[in-house]
Amino acid sequence: MFVDKVSITVTAGNGGNGAIAFHREKYVAAGGPDGGDGGKGGSVIFKADDNMSTLMDFRYKRKYVAQNGVDGQGGMKSGKDGENLVIRVPRGTLVKDKETGGIIFDISGDGEYVVAKGGRGGWGNRRFATATRQAPRFAKNGLRGQKREIVLELKLLADVGLVGFPNVGKSTLLSVVSKAHPKIANYHFTTLYPNLGVVYAGEGSSFVMADIPGIIEGASEGAGLGHDFLRHVERCRLLVHVVDVSGSEGRDPIADFEAINEELVRYNSELASRPQIVAANKCDIADAAAVESVRDYVEAKGHKFFEISAATHKGVSELVAQTAEELSKLPPIQVFEPDYVEPEPKLGTSDELTIEVEDGVYYISGAWMERLLGGINFSDTESKMYFDRTLRTSGLFERLEEMGISEGDIVSIYDMEFEYRR
């Protein structure tokens, strides 16, 4: 099954916590703090894989989590960094932010793309030792890894896109000029997903051609299958517009030509200026006058016109040669520039804390409080005193008293409860 758009969640690893430890050795008095730092959390990395042509692997697995960093240990031993999670995707995949739709990366190159960064490891207590505080009994917890909901959208990397109504011979043409083996049958929508083929035009000259299926009138608004696959035309440097000049299905080739172009423009106005070569297929069974009528119309529009028969291979080599010549004059395949703006981290302040009262219990939450709790060791008196001092100087106590808190009332901060004391 061809899948070209999926939504997944990626979570980088959390940083390891710093250790609280003290040097203990015979005949060594007052060894001092020697708690090591926590390891860095693993990042989530995307990498292009030329052996993949669909996002099918992401259809059933939607959550990807990198490894956490290991906590620090005594003896100044730092924790091991978490392993990065490398996710392979087809070349040409766009990574978009699910909420804003902004492009984070266009995975068209050979490098690695860090989509979610791992959390930094916390400091061990040895880092907090000073001349006046020689035995700190607290350390820092590691930071959380970045979590993102993203959309993967595949836009095929092809030099040439074959466009045209169903059953005009696009798949047959692709099978003739390349080693691709698309399904070919005499009914509409035989081709249910884009097919790629490498076309060799001569010594040292080749290009990638894609058969874009299902484009019909109204495709840009969701009719047929074209709405799903029009995105794959966007990267194509050159379009080969295949029309059936035989009228074998009672259709007007000129009307078909205009209808397809209109759908391309409606989907993306930039496609209106994309170079086109018109391939008049099934000319071996077409009326000569009808072929000339289409030629005059197309050439008046400024497009090159070729009479071909994909079934008998007539005119195909000339079409391939002209396509290669046109591509030599065109810029490389489009790479989409990232337009996603990374939001500022929500560190928060004490003024932004949320205080809710339920059944006489004061529930406090907020990013500022989470950050503060990450560095508190409640088994250490000095650390608890620092926590109390910070809350008092932050203005939190004044806010609680304005809300009517009384001596002995319960204050709940995440999974901990305290009695209020002035």
- Show which of 327, 360, 392 is a domain's final residue: 327
Q: Is residue 59 part of a domain?
A: yes
How far apart CA 3 and CA 5 sit, in angstroms, is 6
Its domain, for residue 148, covers 1-153
Q: Is residue 179 part of a domain?
A: yes
Say yes or no: 190 and 304 in one domain: yes
Say yes or no: 28 and 6 in one domain: yes
Say yes or no: 124 and 219 in one domain: no
What's the CATH code of the domain at 39?
Answer: 2.70.210.12
Token output for 264: 């391309």
Q: Is residue 343 part of a domain?
A: no
- DSSP of 6-53: EEEEEEPPPPPPPP--B--BTTB-S--B-PPPPPPPPPEEEEEETT--
Say yes or no: 318 and 171 in one domain: yes
Cβ(212)–Cβ(173) below 8 Å: no
Say yes or no: 174 and 149 in one domain: no
Residue 224 pLDDT: 47
Q: Is residue 339 part of a domain?
A: no
Q: Is residue 398 part of a domain?
A: yes
Say yes or no: 92 and 126 in one domain: yes
Residue 223 pLDDT: 46
- Show which of 121, 153, 185 is a domain's final residue: 153
Helices (H), 102-225: 170-177
Say yes or no: 291 and 415 in one domain: no
Q: Is residue 280 part of a domain?
A: yes
Split into its structural domains, the chain has a count of: 3
- What is the distance in angstroms between the CA of the first residue and the CA of the last residue of the chain? 66
Those residues of the chain that have pLDDT short of 50 are: 187, 219, 223-225
Residue 264 pLDDT: 85
Residue 243 pLDDT: 92
Q: Is residue 338 part of a domain?
A: no
Residue 219 pLDDT: 46
C-alpha 367 chain-centroid distance: 27
- Show which of 153, 187, 219 is a domain's final residue: 153
Cβ(367)–Cβ(347) below 8 Å: yes
The dihedral over CA atoms of 283, 173, 194, 111, expressed in degrees to the nearest 10, equals -130
